Amino acid sequence: MDIGDKIKNLRKSRGLTQQQFAEKLYISFQSVSNWERRKGHPTTEMMLTIIEKFDLPLDFFITQPTTTNENSEEDLILSTFLKSMLDSWDEAPSFEKLQLMSGVPKQRIKYYFPSYDDLFYAIINKVDQNIKIRVEHSLSTNSDVISVFINDMAPMLYSKKEELHILYTRPYISGIWTQFIKSKYMSLIIKYNPTLNAEGLSIKYLIEMLTTFISVWMSQETTEPLEKFQSRMKKYLAHNSMSLWSD
């Protein structure tokens, strides 16, 4: 199903007019109309905003491959895109470069990913795959966010350090990735720690602090070993009671 069709179905399922849907996203109704008529395309940031606003699964806008061959070809393109970003510091790799590195014709690449926003969105899904599920499980059984961060989330992030280093250090995708991390994990913490006042500053301070630690860790040319990072975080955070984050 096309992205425009997904947005139209979502809007109608919530009983919203195009104007009402647009107001929730602080955009013009013309943008919504263009998306639904396939005359425009939401940016990666906007797709993530829609997911957050309407509490949708992260892969909501991903179209599932219809054949095993398509699945393999799509995975090859995404893996190649990550590799191509290694030596592309300031500008996203061109579609021509992706074609050269992957061996997949440019028209096939654009069949799966018509724009860079589609590529960025798919990469975020690929890198975050399984992390959110496992973090959510940890939060559902352990109310101590700091403990979950140090003992559960940090090892999962470390296992993806190569991909995360790219996402945190390339300016054309780092802002999108940071937006995703902050919004998605804020919603998870609020869900399983309702005593943290979502309307106040407490949750924002906590999220800013934790995401900054991750950003500094993953942005280093050589990632600090997991055990050393955990030890550092325990020194800074473990002695703090979660009650300190409540207004």
In DSSP notation, 6-65 reads HHHHHHHHTT--HHHHHHHHTS-HHHHHHHHTTS----HHHHHHHHHHTT--TTTTPPPP
pLDDT in tens, 147-173: 899 999 999 999 999 999 999 999 999
CB 216 within 8 A of CB 168: no
Distance of CA 164 to the CA centre of its chain: 11
Mean pLDDT of 192-209: 76
pLDDT of residue 200: 64
- For the chain, state the CA radius of gyration: 19
Read off the pLDDT band of 191 (50, 70, 90): confident
pLDDT of residue 165: 95
- CATH among 1.10.10, 2.40.10, 3.90.550, 2.40.160 for 68-127: 1.10.10
**Mean per-residue pLDDT over the chain, rounded:** 87
Q: Decide if pLDDT at 121 tops 70.
A: yes
Q: Decide if pLDDT at 246 tops 60.
A: no
Q: Decide if pLDDT at 19 tops 90.
A: yes
pLDDT of residue 205: 84
Distances (CA, A) of 34 to 42, 61, 218: 10, 17, 38
The residue assigned the tokens 């955009």 is 27
pLDDT of residue 173: 93
Q: How many helices (H) and strands (E) does the chain have?
A: 15, 0
Read off the pLDDT band of 199 (50, 70, 90): low
pLDDT of residue 114: 85
Report the distance separating Cα 37 and Cα 41, nearest Å: 10
Highest mean pLDDT among 43-57, 61-75, 197-211: 43-57
What secondary structure does DSSP assign to 189-219, as a single string? Answer: HHHH-TTS-TTSSHHHHHHHHHHHHHHHHHH
